[in-house]
Structure 1
């Protein structure tokens, strides 16, 4: 190319690039900025609304919990007389009834007189006659028909709180109190977990924790609002604001009053965690914008070189194709050479076995009296045994080399299963898997592609072995005739397949193996091969018991088998 032409072409390329960049990026930047701003606003409002709804719902659940327990205590008080309440046996029976209905939420019951002395008690502690006259919960219950105390340790030195209901007036006034299990109550609050840093707790009007905080660092949280945040107008009483701790971490704080305003349910989550999805989306969006801009610039710059690059790619693909063709031809030549060598070796090995047998017969007839007759017999048996071993190896090599033909042929199912088991034996030993074969030698041959049927059986056997790793187990394979069909069963003692996955087990790309361990195509291919052969494949499984695959294949009639053999001989 002439230097002047190259210079003009480069100048034109840059002019086109600048025009495309200006026209393309300016609207992209303006639209992207507007969308980005609207997305942030809408997403923040949705996060605040979601947190407010969650906290409000849990606050309602906690209020319902407290009201239900208060109602139960009130019911016991209303349906019991003065004499019944001071009877420990009656009180114990009432406690057992409450525990049967609600579980161990109610720890104990007690009846306290007007002076604060416990006159009757039912529960696991030795609190009969306990003096509660100076206890905060007792003082707080004076003048009230029903009350729920704050959480405290008390005489039992473990956190709990009291629900008390009054009966009578003056000196005859009795107070039925019930202790609520602190852990059961705490679980109502601990269930509020969103993200990695979200946690919730309850404080009373003096700021004292009523449930356990997430860790000691929670003691450093400052509930003083840094700024008020928008909340849904449909949720009354819920406050949303930002707060920070001593480390400078900023939290989204959502609070809602409970127990008539005596307590407050507080949920906190780091701002970075609450908006982590938005941050990731923003980063991905920014990356897409940058990649899009880079793509526009790159397109404008390299448009003049596209044809040359395309030609270079075509040349590289052609060169790679040539290398692959050479490699394929080399492998095919090696396969033919191996098959030829195996065939040539098979003939002398067969002669060697026959000669060893003939020599053994001669020894039986004429060499019994030789001093080394036993040693000669051992050597001849060894020659025959090793010869048969060589013949078996060459037979397998020939079978492997000939499996490029996908046409149907007559197959003896028991013999075919033994070949597959032999191929998988080493993997099974390593996985501590034992084979159990139950083969019907009298079943007729089937007409199928040996390559495809081997692929199906190997896939099922390998899946079963992998399922039983590393503990090991038993792999049972059987074959026989049922209702005029050839039936092959592959059953393992592995962990089994959940019922929810059984319906999808033959779907393409469905796999329960870890990423990188399976493509999800093996069983789908097996399903297609068996159905192409006119058969069916089924699966039965139970978790903790094992899995069974059942293959049903049609058996051709004798006349069809004869026609198939004639066609194969003709080919």
Structure 2
């Protein structure tokens, strides 16, 4: 699952990161272009109004400016050409007295000498004021043009319709939260924003300073607004740097497409992850079931191999068993012949004959029991296939295996001895499997000493929490080159047809399964000792380590 999910998550994360960066650049570029376009439109609007008034001023005569209706005619011409953008028109002398006026308000003879816009207009040929309420009590701003006529300065001013100007900014709308507004250097609104909020003057001061210092047309920043909502601010200078056009939009709104893409990617990862997990679980269960089935078949095969090995061991014992059975059978045959002779002679009259009959019959019965015991041991071992774990004393089991092998040992001129600790504790294991291990080791030792004879010692003792069984012979030993391979399946040094090479491999597997270990030490022409170490408590067998060591002194 990790191998499947990790590349998908990493790849999706990389793609999303690249898409996010690309989308941010795209949004920023779009907003910068939008604000720059409206900056040009607004600046163009203001410059065009100034040009309108300049053209008007060039056609005016100021000798009798307050004595005719020439100013009203000029206002009508402006309104006819440009609609309601121009609200009124006035001419002011250098003392601030309005000497001519045309418009809807009663501003004839109005005095502007103390007005800020008038003072600034006297210092510039062309001047656009900030938005203010003025004498009329409604928001407006003034475009003024200065004209010198016969040594006297005149100010021609026109009031621009605030609503017409405001619509230029209101059109800057994107999404649900995007809107624009204009501020002057004092942080006062020059348009009416569609959302009520109070601008933070120090931040906008930095916008004025940054744009002017670096000479950029547009500045883009992303920061929290007054309510803590992360927002995008795009700003540009207007009116020669006196005004600031600001576009504001919540980041979540501006990047809604990105958020949708990210949500889709997360859903895709989750669905993909669920599918991968389900497939992984299904495939794992399938593999586990197949492995379990294979293990079951392997276990059955192992049992069959063990039973085959057991039958092979029985076959190797057959010669000694046959020799042992021959003796009681010969006695039984002899006694039966003697009874037959007595019966042919008619020996039924005296007491001595009857006693002789009883003795012969008793001898036949004793020898029959002896044969029965011998065959019973052999058949009991050959037929025992129950590998269930049970508690049992190990000493009787060793004695039984020694008894099975004793006749073969005698037949091969081998002295078979047991040295068992009388206080060996019980162990929890499979009796039949442990019988197989002991018989394999005993038969291997008998095979090694079959031609030379020798001594085979079976030693049982307790060490710490384990029982150790040594099968030690004084045979020819095992070459050092073969020691590392003797537990390998199908490895054998016996002639072809005399061994399968599975005996020691079976022993290794059985002891390993019991949580024990089997080791071997061998010296050429001195002998070989196989040591089996079995934990006393083997209800929960853990894997043991098999050590194979050699010693050539």
Please give the TM-score of this superposition, normalised by the length of structure 1: 0.46
In terms of Rg, which structure is larger? 2
